[in-house]
Chain A
């Protein structure tokens, strides 16, 4: 508990900034839903957007008929993008930040095992990420009830949960990288980088049939949010894939870190 509290203390500022931005965007987009959904002209204009933009930013006009559709296209995209960046940054910095601050000699000469430190960090980050996920879900639902109509809270929950699983997968990749990086700054770049690459791959895949295979390398593509809007349940295989990346990444990171030298 001591170590988990420490990690939360260390991430406090980043958590408040990240959480604030995400919740702000969610509330903004959520409150604007009806303005767009009832605006036929605007939707027509959106339909003329390049495919890549439609794919990347989730402007699927076909589902833009309900608040759930709006959530899957708009709120979802920004939430995965932003929370993904923050979670991946935290994960990438997990171990390397102490090397950067010079606090590693202090931390690892306490009577905690390396794995205890490592998994406490993972747990603390899981807690922070989950908190933002739950708050985003609650705010989305609240906006739906206040400014629009909600047909199925369950659908909205699944959409947000799908995003949460993707975010966890980004964290998993971050844990593999954290022992290999050399400074906190590079950890930040790497965190934002992996999310951006994934996002851009998905966007590029939408440009043309011939490059659609690119999306197979993008975590943004894993869940079919359009199907979720139509009432389908969460795809088991997609959930297994994203959680698999999270667990495997965490385990690999632990393995790499267990006997790593703490040197200046």
Chain B
């Protein structure tokens, strides 16, 4: 069953494009990563899912119900977290949580909020105006989860949380997912998506580039080797690096070599020469993006 379904979803802000013709569906039980750089249209899409804005054209369905008209009761099934998480400054965290619980027809005692507060080491008795961004984010998490929703729609949930808290948060998301909660979240951090998601969509400049299962994401099995040889200068030709990666780059004394599979062969070749520094990592989001983007462009050209 599709929990979220977008058909040619388009939103313009006057002359500015928010998103254009986005087609995407999220099934029950998915942890779906929505990934893209600043200004890609992530928040624009999420605001339409939360009925904060309405599409210019195209449509969205949640749990099979179209959102062309307001459906406030549907929001009882949805937990959300906005990217900037602002709350009424003069109220305490607890007052905000009580207010939210009441809006769902619950009392705070009926919700798992105290358990979560302990988990995230969150002091709910302070006023919102004294909160740091991280604390506001924690309040946002509690506020978004207290009614035990079936679907979570989160806009950059981890920005502002320290690594430890990010980890606790991911753990919680995983647990919830095991209990059947569907999760849709946006981010520009690839590692978050890798850790958590079973499906991922890439968006850039308002257009959906690709949707795939995590295991099929092109480039996920690639590794980038950054190496500085003791002997100075561009050694791409001399050391035969082009045989490993014909597009190997050299900037400011560092060689960048991308390998797909056969990592040991590449390393054997490299370590024949004296090295001052080496690191091996997964391609950055930027690099993956560029690959996707270049590919799409050249596909377009060849047609």
Is A bound to B? yes
B36-57 CB contact bits vs A (8 Å, 1 = yes)?
0000000100010011111000
Interface size on B, residues (CB 8 A): 31
B86–A102 contact, CB under 8 A? Answer: yes
Tell me, in angstroms, the Cα distance from A10 to B89 when the chains sit together: 10
Known contacts A101-B86, A103-B88; A109 and B104 CB within 8 A of each other: no
A110: interface (CB < 8 Å): yes
Q: Which residues 101-152 of B have a CB within 8 angstroms of A? A: 102-104, 143
List, in ascending order, chain B residues with CB within 8 A of A102's CB: 84, 86
* A116–B85 CA distance with the chains assembled, in angstroms: 22
Given A6-B99, A259-B54, CB of A103 within 8 Å of CB of B75:
no
Decide: A113 and B70 in contact? CB cutoff 8 A: yes
Give the CA-CA distance A106 to B13 in the complex, in Å. Answer: 21
> Contact between A110 and B86 (Cβ–Cβ < 8 Å)?
no
State in angstroms the CA–CA spacing of A249 and B285 once bound together.
51
Q: Are B88 and A263 in contact (CB under 8 A)?
A: no
B8 within 8 A of A: no
Specify which chain B residues have a CB less than 8 angstroms from the CB of A263 in the assembled complex. 13, 47, 52-53
Chain A residues 98-154 with CB under 8 Å of chain B are 101-106, 108-114, 116
| CA gap between A264 and B91 in the complex, in Å | 22
- Contact between B82 and A101 (Cβ–Cβ < 8 Å)? no
| B88–A10 CB distance below 8 A | yes
A residues less than 8 Å from B274 (CB atoms): none
* Cβ of B272 under 8 Å from chain A: no
Q: Does A261 contact B (CB under 8 A)?
A: yes
Q: Is the CB of A2 within 8 A of B103?
A: yes
Q: Which residue of B lies closest to A3 (CB)?
A: B103
Find the B residue at minimum CB distance from A6.
B99
Which B residues are in CB contact (< 8 Å) with A105? Answer: 47, 50, 52, 82, 84, 86
Rounded to whole angstroms, the CA-CA distance of A104 and B86 in the bound complex is 8
Query: Apart from A106-B87, A262-B52, what are 11 other A-B pairs with CB-CB below 8 Å?
Result: A101-B88, A102-B84, A103-B86, A103-B87, A105-B50, A109-B50, A109-B75, A109-B82, A110-B100, A263-B47, A263-B52
6 contacts between A and B (CB under 8 A): A10-B88, A101-B86, A102-B84, A110-B103, A110-B104, A262-B52
